[in-house]
Structure 1
Amino acid sequence: MQLDVFLKQVSLNHALNVLIWHAAQAGIEIAALVKQGALQGTTEKTTNTNVQGETQMHLDIRSHEVVLEQLRASGVVAAVVSEEAEEHISFETVDAPFLVCVDPLDGSSNLAINGVVGSIFSILPNTGVATQGSQAFLQPGQAQRAALYVMYGPATLLVLTLGEGTHVFTLDHENDSFVLTQQTVQIPPETSEYAINASNQRYWQPAVKRYIDECLQGAEGDRGRDFNMRWCASMVMDVHRILTRGGVFLYPRDNKQPVKAGRLRLLYEANPMSLLVAQAGGESIAGLEDVLAIQPASCHQRVPVLLGSKQEIQRLREYHQQAKE
């Protein structure tokens, strides 16, 4: 079943369907650019930095442009917050029904090693960006109307939730269309696999140290089984692995840079990925608080994120609570 047919069957909101179709078209265009790699110079760094102070790749900039072109063409988007722009970007259709928060190319540093990258979209209702400006984007993740990512790997995948299940589509390159290949994904509640940047271990808080120590003790420890660690340095890839076979992805609060509460951006990384995981039966927390319940304070706000298999995330929440007591 092609994406447009699926949308007509499951969603009665024509404007939302149009928006998702245009996000998918952006993904198809970016997939073609990724495929060219160094032949198009897309793996090269620029001398520019984005609002996060990160050095931009040429493909970061081009992906941002492609996304804006498609979202503007949809006619149903009022404004966009992008990782690659300091301020929100308003379109002429300022009274359109939706706002979009986007990371045009997640994990772009992986381009240099031909690694997996992706694009992440969060779709929010337009509560009045014409009068509220950027404040209109400061909605908790629970308000999202839809969330999706496009993953550029051996196959190009689009993973989507409209708030009723999480579904996977695969790009048919012959027809330039996404085809439903897995409906209503379910994350196993338990796991023996975790993803974390272990180089930051000395900065972790006690709850995370306790959890990872137990995993490392394996079958001889309290957990009574061995664990494997995976880390791709691309949130899209790490989360997709969890949707496929279970696990947890941990980017916790740490003391490496105390001024930052976390590393991942709430509006266009943590919220959309948390909704996709929650709709697949998983959970996502920032420590004690559900990520989707956080009230944003700014458009580029960073938060810690612990998400994945439900029983593991509940254990991590308990450890944070016990460490607080």
Structure 2
Amino acid sequence: MKPFPSTLTRHIIHTQATHPGATGEFSALMAQIGLVGKMIANDLRRAGLINILGTTGETNVQGEAVKKLDEIANESFLKVFQYSGLVCALASEEMEKPVHLPENWPHGKYMLLFDPLDGSSNTDVNMPLGTIFSILRHDGKGLPSEPELIRKGTKQEAAGYLMYGSSTMLVFTAGHGVHGFTLDPGIGEYYLSHENIQIPDKGQVYAVNEGNAKKWPDNTRKFLEHLKAKDKQTGRPYSARYSGCLVADVHRVLLGGGLYLYPAEVDKPEGKLRLLYEANPLAMVVEQAGGKASTGTMRILDIEPKSLHQRVPLLIGSKNDVTLAEDFIQGKR
């Protein structure tokens, strides 16, 4: 008989036992993130039946049209965490300021930053979507101020994502490897399906929105042409695989190798993706799996952020592929 696969809860408790000072707070926090994933996955499955597709008519802090499911996913996080006693701060990509937590309510030592629904343009066409989260620790007394949330990526305690596709997966790292859990919807439990994920040093796939190519610097376009040129010795041409969902594209690269790019543009050198909600957590996951994440000129996790919604260019994936991209972008090739 095959051994019973480890559940998310069992895995976290087992890991907790190896840390003598553990209090169980982190275990409870991860269990609740799993719960939010179940709530969002359930809403996505029923979206076409209960009139929650399309936009709300509002614009978020990023200047983007708010999808109904963006709003519902954000509310799911607030419902689960605002009065949970597990966090002392909540910050969402969808909201300009951190969420207010009452001073007189119990709160934990962790700060949770999240992008509630990544790839929401895919909602109306039944394609993959995701959720990204970053966990920081607050060692001070009372509730943290906004500046305390604005930390470089190396200060993350844990990070990960949920992906909603043919199955729902929770992938995360707490700094000791990367593990993936697949949700069994029949019983509502996450099972360890991908233990100690390691990204290949090199892949043969790239993911990028080439519709933006005319906006890129010459060196970036030169790199993409290099990937598409035929060369058996280096395994080119690479195959293009782009879904419009950051989580789905990074997940493919994490498991199979290659790289994802959302590079700087000539008129937008600061990039598009949010550092604290997207780039930092995904960079931690990919680095823990043996990969690399860069702006093209520096390591993502070394960036000293200046604001809660700061944007950055992102190159992420297999170590050798990202290094090659950096060489082109910096004019070394």
- TM-score band w.r.t. shorter chain: over 0.9
Query: Given the alignment of the two structures, is residue 312 of structure 1 paired with residue 317 of structure 2, yes or no?
Result: no
The residue that corresponds to 1:69 in the other structure is: 79
Identify which of 318, 322, 325 aligns with 2:331. Answer: 322
Q: TM-score, normalised by structure 1?
A: 0.94
8 Å CA contact 1:78–1:90 kept in 2: the answer is no
Deviations 1:184-242 (A, max 9, x none): 1111111111011111112212332222111111227x846221011111001001101
Identify which of 112, 124, 127 aligns with 1:112. Answer: 124
Deviations 1:1-32 (A, max 9, x none): 11010001113431111111101100001100
What's the % identity of the aligned pairs?
35
1:158-173 equivalences in 2 (<5 Å)? 158-173=170-185
Unaligned residue ranges in structure 2 (runs of 5+): 1-5
Distance 2:237 2:213 in 1: 19
Distance 1:144 1:45 in 2: 33
The residue that corresponds to 1:250 in the other structure is: 261
SS in 1 for 2:145: helix
Query: Given the alignment of the two structures, is residue 266 of structure 1 paired with residue 275 of structure 2, yes or no?
Result: yes
Deviations 1:15-59 (A, max 9, x none): 111111101100001100000022122212111111001111111
Q: Tell which deviates more after alignment, 159-168 or 312-321.
A: 312-321
Unaligned residue ranges in structure 1 (runs of 5+): none
Shift of residue 244, structure 1, vs aligned partner: 1.6
Query: Given the alignment of the two structures, is residue 292 of structure 1 paired with residue 301 of structure 2, yes or no?
Result: yes
SS in 2 for 1:86: coil
Identify which of 175, 180, 187 aligns with 1:175. Answer: 187
Identify which of 53, 56, 59 aligns with 1:46. Answer: 56
Q: Indicate how the Cα distance of structure 1 residues 2 and 116 shifts in structure 2: closer, same or farther if over 3 A, else same.
A: same
Deviations 1:291-324 (A, max 9, x none): 0111111001110000000001111222333369
SS in 2 for 1:218: coil
Q: TM-score, normalised by structure 2?
A: 0.92
8 Å CA contact 2:88–2:144 kept in 1: the answer is no
- Count matched residues: 321
Shift of residue 132, structure 1, vs aligned partner: 5.5
Distance 2:106 2:291 in 1: 35
Q: Indicate how the Cα distance of structure 1 residues 322 and 130 shifts in structure 2: closer, same or farther if over 3 A, else same.
A: farther
The residue that corresponds to 1:10 in the other structure is: 15
Shift of residue 133, structure 1, vs aligned partner: 1.7
* Paired letter, 2:145: G
Query: Given the alignment of the two structures, is residue 81 of structure 1 paired with residue 91 of structure 2, yes or no?
Result: yes
The two structures, once aligned, show a CA RMSD in angstroms of 1.9
Query: Given the alignment of the two structures, is residue 197 of structure 1 paired with residue 209 of structure 2, yes or no?
Result: yes
* Paired letter, 2:13: K
1:76-225 equivalences in 2 (<5 Å)? 76-92=86-102, 93=105, 96-128=108-140, 133-219=145-231, 223=234, 225=236
The residue that corresponds to 1:19 in the other structure is: 29
8 Å CA contact 1:79–1:94 kept in 2: the answer is no
8 Å CA contact 1:215–1:223 kept in 2: the answer is no
SS in 1 for 2:108: coil
SS in 1 for 2:127: coil
The residue that corresponds to 2:46 in the other structure is: 36
* Paired letter, 2:134: S
8 Å CA contact 1:51–1:86 kept in 2: the answer is yes
8 Å CA contact 2:110–2:135 kept in 1: the answer is yes
8 Å CA contact 1:284–1:313 kept in 2: the answer is yes
8 Å CA contact 1:168–1:183 kept in 2: the answer is yes
Q: Tell which deviates more after alignment, 298-307 or 204-213.
A: 204-213
Distance 1:128 1:203 in 2: 44
Between Structure 1 and Structure 2, which shows a larger proportion of helix residues? 1
